[in-house]
Structure 1
Amino acid sequence: MSFVNKNLRYLRQQRGWTQKELADQLDVKQPVVGAYEEERAVPPLFTLMRIATLFDLSLDALVQDDLSKPTQKKKQVAKREVLAITVDSNDRENIELIPQKAAAGYLSGYQDPEYISELPKISMPMLPRNRTHRAFEIQGESMLPIQPGSIVFGEYVESLQDLKNGKSYILVTKQDGIVFKRVFQFKEHKETLLLVSDNRVYEPYTIKASEVMELWLVHSFYSKSLPDSIQSTSPLADQLALQLVTLHKKK
């Protein structure tokens, strides 16, 4: 059962706002807010994220909890020394969302459970419960046809030894911040990673493996718009050639 419509009315009234004032905050028209509150429409994901941010809530709490009643505070746990997570009231791991505006802060706060607990949360029931996932809002056009502003869902990878060549990853790096690329690593150059964009306008480049602080295997994404056209990615042979050429230039 979803409480989002009831919660929206409750939260607005708690702030003492009119529907028009809330609509202005959400950048929608007043009748849209009315439709949400009267359960004639359900807010799309991006609007839900705006509401959650506006009222300092997780998406799970906004959708699944009756906020007009007392709720149990979500606890925080540290699953690994290098990865801070939060869990819900059923002791299931949350999926934290890192919006573009929070990307810089994530670099310094990714190991801090208190910082992680303040990030928006997303509920994705279809994802495996026994694994750790995180969501990242991407920017730029280097991975077209995935559009800027899309949200990609990544599964936590504990070690670079588990990296699969040619797969798409979110890398949290010391120098370049949060990066979304296809990644290659070869036996003779374990200390170097090749990062390749699906958009061939962007040239591949290498980084040191030691620069990677977190690695997330991307397996799905959400976008509020469809791509204008489907752009094919580079064949594996092209990727291998780029790897060899790039590494040769580094020598």
Structure 2
Amino acid sequence: MKTANLFWSENLRFLRNRRQLSQNQLAEDLKISRAKLNAHENGLSRNPPLEDLIRFADYFKMSLDTLLRINLSKLGELKVRELEAGNDVYLTGRQIRVLATTVDKQNNENVELVPIKAKAGYLAGYNDPEFISKLPRFSIPDLPPGKTYRLFPIKGESMLPVPEDSIIIASYVQDILAIRKDTPCIVVVKGQDIAFKLVDVSGIQTTGKMWLKSLNVRFTPYEVDVSDVLEVWQFYGYLSKTIPEEINNAEIVSALNHLQTGMQELLRRGQ
């Protein structure tokens, strides 16, 4: 049987250096001797005690699978930041991020609606299959295949000319670094809100921040820490009882042309 590559030593050294800690400082934090830490970092501890493994995993907020099997120095900056924030979402194992969805009788994915009154619950239950299964769900014809869609009602005037009380249809974003600058998206932010904004991710790899802007210039752009971003859903179109007097965003104009069929019925069922 082929022996798996283990990156325990390299990862401990990599993570310590990212925090700009000396061996003495980290050993003190972990309440172990510097000699023991040095042995771990240089591969001299052949059979490290389980309590040591757990001690390191708890300190760095990463699973043992991650620390043992993944060469962290080869990951992109965004992925490392996510792992350091305690979100072990990129790796196979019990911490994997699996998007919770529901399906119809033909095993086709539904389009779930996140009502305004369920927004607070969604921040806690966005990845809980039981919570998602209780959301209203619909089938919308002619959506491009191969993506997962969700419906998000919006309030306020920050994204005018998209009318208040519109329902945004958005597709789940797997890799936020692939989002083009100022793409309209639904952004689910831990401890804050579900926001519909123009997204700028150009500074993520250097600052760890994502800029969120409004179409309505009266609202000031702001930034959020990428480690607090739970989900991003890219705008596809919207449903509304109101037709805006003026639309300047070409993407919104294009998407609106695809969403006339069945609009009133969907709105009625979603109330």
For the superposition of Structure 1 and Structure 2, which TM-score range results when normalised by the shorter chain? Answer: 0.5 to 0.7
* Partner in structure 2 of residue 227 of structure 1: 244
Distance 1:131 1:118 in 2: 21
The root-mean-square deviation of aligned C-alpha atoms, in Å, is 1.8
Distance 1:180 1:169 in 2: 6
| Partners of 1:191 and 1:139 in 2: CA distance | 28
Rounded to whole Å, the distance in 1 between the matches of 2:249 and 2:135 is 34
Q: SS at the partner of 1:85?
A: coil
2:201 matched residue in structure 1: 185
Aligned partners of 1:201, 1:231: CA distance in 2, in Å? 16
User: Is 1:156 aligned to 2:146, yes or no?
Assistant: no
Counterpart position of 1:89: 105
Provide the residue aligned with 1:218 in structure 2: 235
Residue in structure 2 matching 1:195, options 196, 212, 220 = 212
- Number of residue-to-residue matches in the alignment: 154
Distance 1:232 1:117 in 2: 34
CA distance in structure 2 between the partners assigned to 1:190 and 1:165 by the alignment: 16
Counterparts in 2 of 1:195 and 1:123: CA distance versus 1, 3 Å:
same
Q: Does the aligned pair in 1 maintain the 2:177–2:201 contact within 8 Å?
A: no
Identity %: 42
Which residue of the partner structure matches residue 101 of structure 1?
A: 117
| Structure 1 unaligned regions, length at least 5 | 1-79, 234-251
Which of 127, 146, 155 is the equivalent residue of 2:162? 146
CA–CA separation in structure 2 for the residues paired with 1:86 and 1:152: 19
Residue identity matched to 1:191: G
What is aligned with 1:118? 134
TM-aligned CA distance change 1:124 to 1:161, over 3 Å: same
What amino acid does structure 2 have at the position aligned with 1:125? P
Larger radius of gyration: 2
Letter in 2 for 1:219: Y
- Out of 150, 168, 174, the position equivalent to 1:134 is 150
Q: Distance in 2 between matches of 1:129 and 1:95?
A: 12
Distance 1:190 1:87 in 2: 38
In structure 2, the partner of 1:42 is none
| Alignment CA distance shift 1:221-1:232 (3 Å) | closer
Deviation by residue 1:129-180 (Cα, 9 ceiling, x = unmatched):
3211111001111000111110011110112222221100000101321010
CA distance in 1: counterparts of 2:145 and 2:179, whole angstroms: 21
Partner-residue secondary structure (3-state), 2:100: strand
Are the counterparts in 1 of residues 123 and 191 from structure 2 also a CA contact under 8 Å? no
CA change 1:90–1:174 in 2 (3 A) is: same
- Paired with 1:84 and 1:134, the residues of 2 have a C-alpha distance of 11
Answer 1 or 2: which has greater strand percent. 1
Q: Is the 8 A contact 1:144 1:231 kept in 2?
A: no
- Provide the C-alpha distance between the structure 2 equivalents of 1:230 and 1:164, rounded to a whole number of angstroms: 20
Cα distance change on mapping 1:103 and 1:171 into 2, 3 Å: same
Equivalent-residue separation in structure 2 for 1:158 and 1:229 (angstroms): 32
| Superposition deviation, residue 229 in structure 1 | 3.6
How far 1:232 sits from its partner (Å)? 6.4
Structure 1 residue 218 displacement after superposition: 0.5
Give the Cα–Cα distance (whole angstroms) in 1 for the partners of residues 240 and 207 of structure 2: 34
- Tell me how far apart the structure 1 counterparts of residues 170 and 109 of structure 2 sit (CA, whole Å): 14
What is the CA–CA distance in structure 1 between the aligned matches of 2:129 and 2:249, rounded to whole Å? 39
- Asked whether the equivalents of residues 92 and 129 of structure 1 are also in contact (C-alpha less than 8 Å), the reply is no
In structure 2, the partner of 1:27 is none
SS of the aligned residue for 1:84 comes to coil
TM-score by length of 1: 0.58
In 1, Cα distance between equivalents of 2:247 and 2:125: 36
Gap change, CA 1:84 and 1:200, over 3 Å in 2: same
What is aligned with 2:65? none
